[in-house]
Amino acid sequence: MVGKFISFEGPEGAGKTSVLKVLMPRLQKQYGSQLLITREPGGTDNPVAEAIRDVVLSPAYPTMDIRTEALLYAASRREHVQKTIKPALAANKIVLSDRFVDSSIAYQGAGRELGMDNVRALNDFALEGFLPDCTVYFNIRPEIGLERIQAHRQNEINRLDLDSIEFHQRVSAGYHQLAQQDPKRIVVIDAEQPLEQVIEDAWQAVNRVLKMEE
Ligand X SMILES: Cc1cn([C@H]2C[C@H](O)[C@@H](COP(=O)(O)O)O2)c(=O)[nH]c1=O
Q: Identify residue 93 by its one-letter amino acid code.
A: K
Closest CA to 90 of 78, 81, 101: 81
Nearer to ligand ATP, 121 or 195 (CB): 195
Does the footprint of ligand X cover residue 104 (CB under 6 A)? yes
Beta carbons of 205 and 189 less than 8 angstroms apart: yes
**Per-position x/- string for 111-150, each x denoting binding to ligand ATP as judged by CB under 6 A, each - no binding:** -------------------------------------xx-
- Left if phi > 0, otherwise alpha if psi is -120 to 50, otherwise beta: which for 104? alpha
Instruction: Tell me how far apart the alpha carbons of residues 101 and 118 are, in angstroms, rounded to a whole number.
Output: 13
Does the footprint of ligand X cover residue 79 (CB under 6 A)? no
The minimum distance between CB 148 and ligand ATP, in angstroms, equals 3
Instruction: Tell me how far apart the alpha carbons of residues 105 and 85 are, in angstroms, rounded to a whole number.
Output: 20
Indicate if the alpha-carbon torsion angle 121, 125, 130, 132 is positive or negative: negative
Contact with ligand X (CB under 6 A): which of 52, 88, 160, 186? 160
**Per-position x/- string for 185-204, each x denoting binding to ligand ATP as judged by CB under 6 A, each - no binding:** ---------xx--x------
Residues 27-66 that bind ligand X (CB under 6 A): 40-41, 57
Q: Identify residue 25 by its one-letter amino acid code.
A: P
Given the rule CB under 6 A, which residues bind ligand X?
12, 40-41, 57, 73, 98-99, 103-104, 107-108, 158, 160
User: Which residues contribute to the annotated binding site for ATP?
Assistant: 10-17
